[in-house]
């Protein structure tokens, strides 16, 4: 009889725990802090589709444009700091904004970084007939004079595209602020500038280069990933393996309000970790042009904070912040 009562009590406790846990996430929502159609939208769609089997209800995508994420991080530090239902999309650009203070008083310690959606990586790109046949050729030119090569990308000074070039210069002890840099309105304009001869090097992203490389008009000198990438990019060396400490991971992921309960946070972490193990999630990443980068929970939170600290240091060295 006692055994039966103990077993019943344990079953009830387990049921109550399960009910309490499932009660946390009632209305799953992904906040895309921009207008529809951009990278944040893509990030939320990956979560919406890739994690749907791990949640009790379908996920809603809500758009919250303003300040490239500033409006969203402000809301999740004021009225929604404890919201267990919502996750907010972020990118490496968001991390850079935090590093240089573009979100005002809000820093990396004011959110809980949750999980990644995938990644892209920086690429050092030249015309097919460029005099720079290898990354060593380019770096040798930079060593002579930071101004000897005109670099361009689809972002202003201080943007993540500019940061890629800054890292290359920093790797050979040269000053990024002396670089000749042309800022274009987007990657397409920058590529046109490269092919037209206005710039000598384009700091692009690996994912966007797939279609262009098939034309034979451009070459990748190196990718800025930590390790060699899978096909069709496995033939390209990384800057690191060539001896240059220049890595740029274009991370896409999600954060939550800093006061969200540990239980709700763990539920979301578990949902992503289970999704990562499925073939469906891998296929969604591929379809969306991203490469696998599957981090969640404290592992991601620690990684992001280390990255922001590094970005803050680079920004100081480049004179972007004091």
Question: Would you list the DSSP string of 4-69?
Answer: HHHHHHHHHHHHHHHHHHHTT-SS-EEEESS-TTSHHHHHHHHHHHHSGGGSSSPPEEEE--SGGG
Q: What length is written for the chain?
A: 322
- CA distance linking residue 265 with residue 270, whole number of Å: 9
Q: Is the pLDDT of residue 221 over 50?
A: yes
Helix (H) or strand (E) run with residue 124 in it: strand 111-127
Q: What is the pLDDT of residue 188?
A: 84
Share of the chain above pLDDT 70, in %: 93
| 96-to-25, 93, 136, 162 alpha-carbon distances in Å | 30, 5, 28, 11
**What average pLDDT does range 231-251 have in this prediction?**
92
**Domain 120-223 maps to which CATH number in 3.20.20.140, 1.20.1440.130, 3.90.1150.10, 3.40.190.10?**
3.40.190.10
Domain 29-119+249-317 class, CATH top level:
alpha beta
**What average pLDDT does range 39-61 have in this prediction?**
93
- CA distance linking residue 206 with residue 212, whole number of Å: 10
Residue linked to tokens 């060295």? 317
Nearest to 70 by CA among 55, 50, 90: 90
Q: What is the pLDDT of residue 47?
A: 96
Contacts (Cβ under 8 Å, ≥6 apart) of 190: 152, 153, 154, 182, 184, 199, 202, 204
Task: Kindly compute the dihedral angle of the four CA atoms of residues 98, 103, 106, 110, in this order, to the nearest 10 degrees.
Answer: -60
Segments of the chain assigned to CATH 3.40.190.10: 120-223
Q: What is the pLDDT of residue 295?
A: 97
Q: What is the pLDDT of residue 2?
A: 47
**What average pLDDT does range 73-96 have in this prediction?**
95
- CA distance linking residue 212 with residue 232, whole number of Å: 13
- CA distance linking residue 100 with residue 116, whole number of Å: 22
**What average pLDDT does range 135-156 have in this prediction?**
94
Segments of the chain assigned to CATH 3.40.190.150: 29-119+249-317
- CA distance linking residue 293 with residue 115, whole number of Å: 10
Q: What is the pLDDT of residue 321?
A: 86
> pLDDT category, 21, cuts 50, 70, 90?
very low
Task: Kindly compute the dihedral angle of the four CA atoms of residues 83, 84, 90, 96, in this order, to the nearest 10 degrees.
Answer: 60
Q: Is the pLDDT of residue 10 over 80?
A: no
The 10 Å CB-count burial string (b at 16+, else e) for 129-154 is ebebeebeebbebbeeebeebbbbbb
Comparing 187 with 183, the larger pLDDT belongs to: 183
Nearest to 219 by CA among 162, 119, 135, 149: 135
Q: What is the pLDDT of residue 179?
A: 94
Most confident of 29-38, 62-71, 191-200: 191-200
> pLDDT category, 22, cuts 50, 70, 90?
very low
Q: What is the pLDDT of residue 19?
A: 38
Q: Is the pLDDT of residue 23 over 70?
A: no
Dihedral pair phi/psi, residue 173, rounded to 5°: 60, 35
- CA distance linking residue 174 with residue 144, whole number of Å: 9
pLDDT, mean over the chain: 89
Two tokens, residue 16: 């109550």
- CA distance linking residue 314 with residue 322, whole number of Å: 11
Nearest to 221 by CA among 114, 103, 124, 90: 124
- CA distance linking residue 252 with residue 43, whole number of Å: 6
Q: What is the pLDDT of residue 222?
A: 97
pTM metric for this prediction:
0.76
């Amino acid at each position: 009889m006692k055994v039966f009562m103990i077993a019943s009590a344990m079953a009830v406790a387990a049921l109550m725990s399960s009910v309490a846990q499932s009660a946390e996430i009632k209305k799953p929502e992904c906040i895309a802090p921009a207008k529809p159609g951009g990278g944040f939208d893509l990030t939320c769609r990956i979560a919406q589709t890739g994690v749907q089997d791990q949640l009790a209800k379908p996920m809603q995508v809500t758009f919250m444009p303003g300040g490239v994420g500033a409006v969203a991080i402000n809301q999740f530090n004021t009225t929604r700091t404890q919201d267990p239902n919502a996750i907010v999309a972020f990118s490496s650009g968001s991390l850079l904004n935090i590093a240089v203070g573009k979100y005002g008083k809000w820093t990396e310690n004011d959110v809980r970084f949750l999980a990644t959606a995938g990644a892209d990586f920086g690429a050092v790109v030249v015309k097919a007939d460029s005099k720079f046949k290898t990354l060593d050729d380019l770096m040798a030119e930079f060593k002579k004079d930071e101004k000897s090569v005109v670099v361009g990308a689809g972002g202003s000074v201080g943007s993540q595209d500019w940061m890629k070039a800054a890292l290359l210069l920093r790797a050979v002890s040269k000053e990024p602020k002396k670089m000749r840099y042309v800022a274009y309105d987007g990657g397409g304009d920058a590529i046109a500038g490269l092919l037209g001869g206005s710039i000598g090097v384009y700091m692009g992203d690996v994912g966007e280069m797939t279609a262009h490389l098939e034309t034979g008009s451009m070459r990748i000198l190196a990718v800025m990933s930590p390790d060699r990438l899978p096909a069709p990019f496995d033939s390209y060396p990384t800057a690191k393996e060539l001896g240059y400490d220049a890595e740029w991971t274009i991370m896409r992921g999600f954060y939550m309000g800093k006061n969200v309960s540990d239980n709700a946070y763990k539920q979301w972490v578990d949902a992503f970790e289970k999704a990562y193990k499925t073939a469906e999630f891998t296929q969604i990443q591929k379809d969306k042009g991203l490469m696998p980068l599957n981090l969640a929970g404290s592992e991601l939170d620690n990684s992001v904070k280390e990255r922001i600290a590094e970005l803050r240091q680079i920004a100081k060295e480049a004179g972007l912040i004091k």
